[in-house]
Structure 1
Amino acid sequence: MPTTYIPTIVNDNAHSDGIWDVAWSKNTNYVATGSSDATVKLWDGSSGELKHELTGHALGVISVDASSDGKQDQLRDDHVGLASTSIDSTIKIWDLENNGALIRTVTASAAQAWTARFSPDGQYLAAGSHDGSICLYDVASGEKAQSLPTKDKFLMCTAYSPDGKYLAGGAEDGSIYVFDIETNQLAHTLTAHAMAVRTLSFAADSRTLISGCDDKYVHVYDVSHGQIASALAGHNGWVLKVAANPDISKQQVASASSDKKIKVWDLGMRSVLETQEVHTDQVWGLAWNPEGTKFVSVSDDMSIKWFASSGSS
C-alpha cells in the first residue's frame, strides 16, 4: 500500500515536558502546542520554526484550540483567537495576530473547564466539566453564558459541527451527548462505547461524528439519525485523539493512541490507510492544516512530528 502521508519535519524536545494538545490555525498558519510544562508555543506551519512562547498558566496546559476564522469582533480588531485550558483552573484567550498577546483570562474551576473548543462563529467556548455539563463561555465577556446538563458524568471532550448546528460532549462512562444548538436541547445520546470517550471530531459534512475511546475503538456516527455507522478497530491502546480531515472529498480521519501509533483511516472503506510509528511515547494530539494536506502530532515524548501528503509541498 503506498504511503499517503510522509514525515517531513521533526521538533524534538519541543517542550520540556509532555505535549498534551495541538491546534492548527486556519488564518495565521500557526501551529499551537500546549504542554504539561505549563506553556503554549506557536510554531510556523510551513517551516516548523518556533515563533512565540506564551506563558502565564501556573500548571499544565490540557487543551488548545484556534478560532475558525478572522471575524471574531469579540476578540480584538477581528483577530484570530487561541484558547488554552489548564489544570490551574483558567482558560486563557490569546491573540494570534498580535504575537500571541493575552486577551483575557477566564477563571473557571478545573471541574468546569477541562478542554475547551471555539464555536464556529467564535462567540463561545464550550468546555467539558466534571459535573457532567457542557459550560458555554462568552468570549467577549469571559462569563459563563450557559450550561447544558447531561448525566453527571465527567465530560472529557467537546466538539462543534462545522456548520454550528450540533455540539457534542464525550463522557467518562462512554456516553456521547449531542445537542442541537438552535434549541439547546439534547438531540441524541450515543451509547456504543463502554469506556471513557476522550476525543471527538466532526467531519466537514457536519453530520459525521468520530469518537475515540479507552476501549481502543474509533467510532463513526451519523448524527442526523443518532446511529453508529462503523466501529474501527486497530489500536492497541486508548484512543487519545481523533481529527477529521477538513477536505471533505478525502473522507479521512486520523487517530492517535497510547500505543504510540498514529493511524489514518478511510471512512468510506472503513479501513486503515496507513499507520505511523514515529513517537516513543503515547500520542496525545493531532491537527490538520486547513487544506487537509498536512497534519501534526504531539506526544508525551516532548516532540512534534509533521506529515505531508505525497502530492503537497
Structure 2
Amino acid sequence: MATFVKTSQQEATIASFSNLKGREYRGHKSSVHTVGWSCDGRKLASGSVDKTARIWAPERLYDSRSSNSFELRGHSESVDQLCWDPTHPDHLATASGDKTVRIWDARSAKSIHTIATNGQNINISWSPDGHHIAVGNKEDLITFIDTKTFKVEKTYVSRVEVNEISWDPTGKLFCLTTGQGSIKVMDFATMKEIVALPAHTANCYCLEFSPSGKYLASGSADALVNLWDLESYACVRTFGGLDWPIRTISFSHDGEFLASASEDLAIEVSLVETGETVHRIECYAAMNTVAWHPSKYLLAYAGEEQDPRPGGGSISKGNIRVWGYAT
C-alpha cells in the first residue's frame, strides 16, 4: 500500500488552523440541534428546540448580535434537522416533531410550503438535483416529497431503526444508518437494497458523503468514525480520536478534512487520507451538529449547555459558533 505524503498546501493549511478562532452568536432560546450552509455559502441556518429556525448572514457574523439574523416561525415543536436546496441558495427545508416539513424562502423569511407527514420528523435530506426531499420520522418511515408539486410521492418503511438519511452526490444512491450499526445502500429509483455495510458494532448515528463521492463516512455509538470507499464498499480507514458516541460529522469543501463531534469536550478535525487528528476545537459541551462551509474553512457547530465550570466559556445553550476566523 502506498504511503500518503501530505502536500505543501495541506501542511500550510494544517499549520494555519492553530491561528484560527471561533465566534459565538446569540439567537435561540434553547438548545440548537442542527446547522447548515446554503449552497453558495452566503447564509447559515440553525434549528432549535425552541421551535424556530434562524438564518444568519456569514458576511456579517463579525458582529455577534442576533439582529444580524432573522427568525423563521411556524413550527409548533422542535426543529430537529434542516437542509438547504443544493440547487437554489434561498430555499431551506426544516423537519419538526410537529409532523410537518416546511419550505422557506430565505429572502422573505416566510414558509412557502407546509407538507404534512405521518409522524414526528427527526431527519431530512434534499436530493442533489433538487427534485426530491426525504424526511424520516421516529417510526422509521421515510417520506419522499416531490419538490415540483410539494406533495408526497412515495414512502419507505424500514424494519430497523433509522437515524440518518442521505443521497450520494450523484443522486442515484440513497443511504440510511441503522440502530443495528449497519449502513443500507439503496438504489433510489427502486429503493431496493444494494448492500448493507456492517459499519459498526453499535448504533450508527450519522453519515456523510465526501464532496467528490469517493468516500462515505459514518459515525457511531462505538465512538468511531469509519471511512468507506464507494467503489469497493470497503472500510479503508477508522478515526478513533473521540471517546463518546459520535453524533455528527462533516467533510470540508475540498474533501481533505473531516470534522467529528460527540459528548467529548472537543471537535476532532482529521486529515481524510491518513486519519490523523490535525486539530482539536475545544467545546466544553456535547455537540449536536457540525457543518463545514461549502467553499471555505469555516466550521459551524452547536451543542447543549455552556461550560458549568467557573470561568468556563465556549458555546452557551441556544447559541451557535463558527470556527475559522483569523486571530
Q: 1:44-123 alignment to 2 at 5 Å?
A: 44-48=57-61, 50-70=68-88, 80-96=90-106, 98-110=107-119, 113-123=121-131
Shift of 1:52: 1.2
Shift of 1:309: 6.8
Aligned match of 2:24 = 10
Which amino acid in the other structure matches residue 78 of structure 2?
A: G
Asked if 1:185 corresponds to 2:201, the answer is no
Residue of structure 1 aligned with 2:250, choices 205, 230, 243: 243
Shift of 1:144: 2.1
Shift of 1:28: 6.2
Aligned match of 1:43 = 56
Query: Could you say which structure has the higher helix fraction?
Result: 2
Which amino acid in the other structure matches residue 139 of structure 1?
A: T
Asked if 1:141 corresponds to 2:155, the answer is no
Q: Which has the larger radius of gyration?
A: 2
1:125-160 superposed Cα distances (whole Å, 9 cap, x missing partner): 12234444533111233322123454x112111122
Aligned match of 1:264 = 269
1:149-186 superposed Cα distances (whole Å, 9 cap, x missing partner): 54x11211112222223221111221211122355432
- In the alignment, structure 2 segments of 5+ residues that lack a partner are 1-13, 306-317
Asked if 1:229 corresponds to 2:239, the answer is no
- Would the aligned equivalents of 1:127 and 1:157 in 2 still touch at CA under 8 Å? no
Structure 1 stretch displaced more, 129-138 or 215-224: 129-138
Shift of 1:208: 0.6
Tell me how far apart the structure 2 counterparts of residues 199 and 165 of structure 1 sit (CA, whole Å): 19
Change beyond 3 A, Cα 1:194–1:147: farther
Secondary structure in structure 2 of the residue aligned to 1:46: helix
Tell me how far apart the structure 1 counterparts of residues 209 and 124 of structure 2 sit (CA, whole Å): 15
Which amino acid in the other structure matches residue 150 of structure 2?
A: G
Tell me how far apart the structure 1 counterparts of residues 301 and 230 of structure 2 sit (CA, whole Å): 27
Which amino acid in the other structure matches residue 275 of structure 1?
A: R
Structure 1 stretch displaced more, 34-43 or 164-173: 164-173
Which amino acid in the other structure matches residue 104 of structure 2?
A: W
Secondary structure in structure 2 of the residue aligned to 1:199: strand
Aligned match of 2:319 = 303
Aligned match of 1:74 = none
1:255-298 superposed Cα distances (whole Å, 9 cap, x missing partner): 11122321111111111111111x33211111111114211111
- Would the aligned equivalents of 2:199 and 2:218 in 1 still touch at CA under 8 Å? no
1:71-107 superposed Cα distances (whole Å, 9 cap, x missing partner): xxxxxxxx631111111111111012x2322111111
Change beyond 3 A, Cα 1:242–1:84: same
Tell me how far apart the structure 2 counterparts of residues 137 and 260 of structure 1 sit (CA, whole Å): 38
- Would the aligned equivalents of 1:241 and 1:255 in 2 still touch at CA under 8 Å? yes
CA RMSD of aligned residues (A): 2.1
- Would the aligned equivalents of 1:27 and 1:80 in 2 still touch at CA under 8 Å? no
- Would the aligned equivalents of 1:128 and 1:169 in 2 still touch at CA under 8 Å? no
Tell me how far apart the structure 2 counterparts of residues 161 and 62 of structure 1 sit (CA, whole Å): 22
Tell me how far apart the structure 1 counterparts of residues 296 and 206 of structure 2 sit (CA, whole Å): 19
Tell me how far apart the structure 1 counterparts of residues 138 and 234 of structure 2 sit (CA, whole Å): 26
TM-score, normalisation: structure 2:
0.84
